Structure 1
């Protein structure tokens, strides 16, 4: 590899950095020349390229600092006064997830007051006096009308945890944490499985990462469980333990600690795939959840940095995640039918989290891989771009399936990712005040060259790293740390750690998702057929080897059937489920009544229409609570989610218990959605904003089915897959 002191080249494209007057730089990138002024934080290494790109990231950050924000869907597109950070040149608004990840990576160091103001913009009280009052984090607009289809708003606390030195901000954080966690526990937590429901964090363009049929059916996403979102809840609960103790609330601290421990165990139980040594990106809803052969780098990195993944499992999760020479993809396997965005793409901020994870696991190969990827991407694009097509590392890949479909210069979390790579990734400045550099020996020629020291200078302190006399190892770590006033000097030593070779992305694509199973009743069984050799999944469990048809014993309980195909050792995403079993329709005036035929658990869902917004965005997912009163037993209150959709759909599934012969009544209680927030009054991109809160759907029949008491048996018929037809 070339030393990258002044120039780097990638696939016949080159970038070159030269010093300029007064401590500035000039970047000569493929698309033009950019002058970069001297900045408040200064890196001094053997690489003018590395130092200049650090200055460029700070310059990008200054451009993302504004006095007013705009978005076509808010305030009729007119400016909203806010001394905030925007998400990027193409995204001049302040969004919860972009801002929070960026703050966690770097903003808290570089402009804490503005980071606090930006985070406070994403908190809101409740404008509807009839709704539960509190201070809540706003979920970004998204699939099916936002929360609780998407539930990663708790990422807010990932950024806020660094800024609690301000007393007023700390008080609001504590209040928002308690209220938001309680609300998510009520509406998004599945106590039987032990996980929070909701979409993968940041990857909210559903057909990019979820099965294609979710383009017009987000109920699957609303009921699914995502690794990243559950890890973010674990992080929020861990912060809750810390803050509860600081507020002398031992009971709440114990509750949060117990919930965090249980959640960590559930994540490791359900998401870990020992066959691959990877954490699954998401699971289909159900008890047990439906395993999906899909993986994502952000969820993996967060699991490691949070402590959810520990020891050998953390090592395996990073070692086994596929890479390309240009950097690591945000998902694997890719979707051959989708253009570049989250699919077939590198996102620099995700690479920054992967670098953090590599530091936790002391993996020099992964540290070097992520660092080179961040340097290369910034240099060749002349900015900190939102994303890049892989494996070309392009921002303009032509063709119907090219892309990225959407991209932006100076994307805030990409900017923060680069800043973090320098400050923490190279100079080892951790958020707890420790200085703990971990520099792969392979990067010594770039960073040190013939020099004995490299340094980082901030407005308040300096860190100087001194190379060791010998490089007998593969990782440089701190040997001796001395402090003289505001200067910290670190003498490095070389150690040798296990560093498996990077795993290449093979195969690149998952096979196509099969069509839904064809199911018909055949006496006492269900006859199930697939158009292609497939694995049948019955209520989250695989039913033997791939085949073309199966006989499933029929019973009263509701049974859901999905198919996956397999090629080159990779499973497809699941087909749209087909659910069968006895279902009772309960209609009429409220409260509606029904008698339980046998004792046991029952599934409850409803037919509904919610046409108050498009499937892709909005804030009006209809969220209700159904009060189920069966005889003299205590009332059971269960949430029911009805996402924005086209035509008549079916709601999320709730579960209740009834004794044989019990007369049950069902009443609808109001729930909560993002339109209830005071801040939603500025929303003009759809209903539920300036016209007032809207949490409504036309509810049709209630559908009640017996829940299975135990997994069903399966009898595979003789029409099995011909030998060699499915690997």
Structure 2
């Protein structure tokens, strides 16, 4: 239940804002003024910012709304450069690029940041820089023996980058807006085919019908995943993320469309089929009916997690994965706080503020887009005002904010944060552009104008006016109020276009809105330690730390208090535990403890092994990869394990060995064998990001300027029986 103070804050935040020449928040007053030359001055207790007249403008009753649009343009101008730099590339020397940088503290081009920013509307305002930046993130292959092609780069990241992180396909979300340039469009189609084929080979799990890999953008592992992943990311590489799978669905749908345009009907049909199957798998696997939301991620064996993220849910809605009632339900059930919507929920008590306990404006903009899709006026207004407030409070479009105060930094000792917070962050700038163009004036990607403006915002935007307007480089849009304004949403009644000027006469309607969810507890319980298993005849004895819920091979099993037993069936049993909070939230999972494995198969490659029974088996490798730190690099070791068993066709399993700090277990694959069959295992070279020509500029670690590197210290081959079925039938 909200405290009295929080309830008062919520009432203030959700009431119709009258932000004309400033705002007040947590005792801070922000004032804005302008002169006859349309120069704005934003002032707050600790400073001020002056913004020169800008080429684009809005004319509303809110000087604050208009001035922040001018400030967003000024931020974008400062992010528009002719050279970029990063300490990990070319020893920090400038690299020529007529493009956008990511922000004041991030003066480089990063795949996901740029792509989301372009998709949120920056393609409208400088198409040349947008294309140049995207082109900078494409690369050919510098290893002659590897498959050649044009690939989108996965930036440096968790465990040595791709395929631990697999959200590079977000590149196509931005590129889809810029296909009017024929040469660029040809590059996009080539990269789309090659990148999708490579992800299918190394990141797709046919048993689950999903793509493996980390959640998109939330790549500080222990913040959004269990804390124990801070130095063990194989779990992440084996797992499945909602956001990354939705991005792959959108890329497949785009490939189907482009293949059709290129006259390749067979390829178009194949992409459509794969997209439809992926959509069905996402809805079957990620939907959690008891919460009425899509889960953020699943364990590699399908283990459900009581964890949710706003970007994944918003992308599922806007990307066409969530349909009808489920789309509306998922957004309505995602909680909010007075300052805005958190990027993940529930929060972690033991983690500092960054993705944890934070509002990110670009995610708020995607939530706004989703709210327009399902026509939820309260959420539309909430996201618009959140983005506006953050920009106004700090005189820039900041990277992120603390959830409860919308502070740019909150001092809480080791939990202080946001840990990093850059001014003029590119996707935050794009978020403000999206608030203006889409959120208020209803400009769609295809150029049509379809306002869905909550009537609660009329006092701020219209005041005593009867019309407001937006002037863009190639057109203007005017919204005119109707005489009758009873309802909760303003939509188009009549649309008139003369030349480049569009006038929309609005009408008020009443839609079935849902109140913002404000009763959610903030924190989940902390994950317990791993349970301990001991064989006892036909059972496993299980010891755990207090009252926990057990999961076995991806399925919810039984609750125990300190100890219990599980049936032992001669097959692999991987057991994890969760803890329940007093508020009914389930913690993330402990590490899994597995029983029923065979001893490692060692010796020279190729290695041989004889199957003891008919069935399916899980295989992984003991390894160490010390070629980079856990949080960055490009040298995750990626191999292909070829399995040839008597009487069967060769089975090829991708194996990933990310950066490690000790000997550990690789990702696993599954194969089938008949009793008595001799199986031969050969470990073949795969592909990692160090193979891309672009990473010859990487000087922040091995695998870059000193040459490609795709290696690990490989130990035993570990095989475990799964029985006659597959793990793919363990849907939550």
Structure 2 equivalent of residue 440 of structure 1: 454
Kept after mapping to 2: 8 A contact 1:86/1:94? yes
Question: How far did residue 41 of structure 1 move?
Answer: 1.5
Question: How far did residue 548 of structure 1 move?
Answer: 3.1
Between 98-107 and 584-593, report the one with greater CA deviation.
584-593
Number of equivalent positions: 710
Distance in 1 separating the partners of 2:676 and 2:599: 15
Distance in 1 separating the partners of 2:53 and 2:270: 49
State yes or no: 1:570 paired with 2:585. yes
Structure 2 equivalent of residue 621 of structure 1: 636
Distance in 2 separating the partners of 1:109 and 1:30: 35
SS of the equivalent of 1:513 reads coil
Aligned counterpart in structure 2 of residue 377 of structure 1, from 377, 381, 390: 390
Aligned counterpart in structure 2 of residue 338 of structure 1, from 339, 343, 351: 351
Distance in 2 separating the partners of 1:284 and 1:228: 15
SS of the equivalent of 1:118 reads helix
Distance in 2 separating the partners of 1:151 and 1:180: 11
Kept after mapping to 2: 8 A contact 1:385/1:407? yes
Structure 2 equivalent of residue 556 of structure 1: 570
Map Cα deviations across residues 536-580 of structure 1 (whole Å, 9 max, x no partner). Answer: 000111113454322122233111000001111100000000011
SS of the equivalent of 1:628 reads strand
SS of the equivalent of 1:315 reads helix
Distance in 1 separating the partners of 2:323 and 2:458: 29
Question: How far did residue 613 of structure 1 move?
Answer: 0.4
Kept after mapping to 2: 8 A contact 1:535/1:546? yes
Match runs of 1:68-147 below 5 Å: 68-147=83-162
Map Cα deviations across residues 222-270 of structure 1 (whole Å, 9 max, x no partner). Answer: 0010000000000101100110000011111011101110111111111
State yes or no: 1:470 paired with 2:484. yes
Kept after mapping to 1: 8 A contact 2:259/2:267? yes
SS of the equivalent of 2:366 reads helix
Distance in 2 separating the partners of 1:483 and 1:138: 42
State yes or no: 1:300 paired with 2:313. yes
Distance in 2 separating the partners of 1:335 and 1:10: 25
Stretches of structure 1 lacking an aligned partner (at least 5 in a row): 713-727
Structure 2 equivalent of residue 677 of structure 1: 692
Stretches of structure 2 lacking an aligned partner (at least 5 in a row): 1-14, 728-732
Kept after mapping to 2: 8 A contact 1:31/1:381? no
Kept after mapping to 1: 8 A contact 2:158/2:164? yes
Kept after mapping to 1: 8 A contact 2:597/2:718? no
Kept after mapping to 2: 8 A contact 1:466/1:491? yes
Structure 1 equivalent of residue 180 of structure 2: 165
Kept after mapping to 1: 8 A contact 2:640/2:683? yes
Question: How far did residue 664 of structure 1 move?
Answer: 0.8
Kept after mapping to 1: 8 A contact 2:336/2:342? yes
Distance in 1 separating the partners of 2:96 and 2:519: 45
Aligned counterpart in structure 2 of residue 608 of structure 1, from 623, 628, 636: 623
Distance in 2 separating the partners of 1:124 and 1:710: 41
Output the TM-score relative to the length of structure 1.
0.97
Match runs of 1:403-482 below 5 Å: 403-482=417-496
Distance in 2 separating the partners of 1:647 and 1:484: 68
Question: How far did residue 710 of structure 1 move?
Answer: 5.5
Structure 1 equivalent of residue 558 of structure 2: 544
Question: How far did residue 29 of structure 1 move?
Answer: 2.8
Structure 2 equivalent of residue 279 of structure 1: 294
Structure 2 equivalent of residue 9 of structure 1: 24
Distance in 1 separating the partners of 2:431 and 2:278: 28
Structure 2 equivalent of residue 322 of structure 1: 335
State yes or no: 1:590 paired with 2:600. no
Map Cα deviations across residues 508-544 of structure 1 (whole Å, 9 max, x no partner). Answer: 0000110110111112211012111010000111113
Map Cα deviations across residues 671-708 of structure 1 (whole Å, 9 max, x no partner). Answer: 00000000000001111000100000111110111114
Question: How far did residue 711 of structure 1 move?
Answer: 9.7
SS of the equivalent of 1:463 reads strand
Distance in 2 separating the partners of 1:685 and 1:138: 16
Structure 1 equivalent of residue 46 of structure 2: 31
Distance in 2 separating the partners of 1:121 and 1:582: 46
Distance in 1 separating the partners of 2:561 and 2:210: 32
RMSD: 1.1
Distance in 2 separating the partners of 1:405 and 1:167: 42
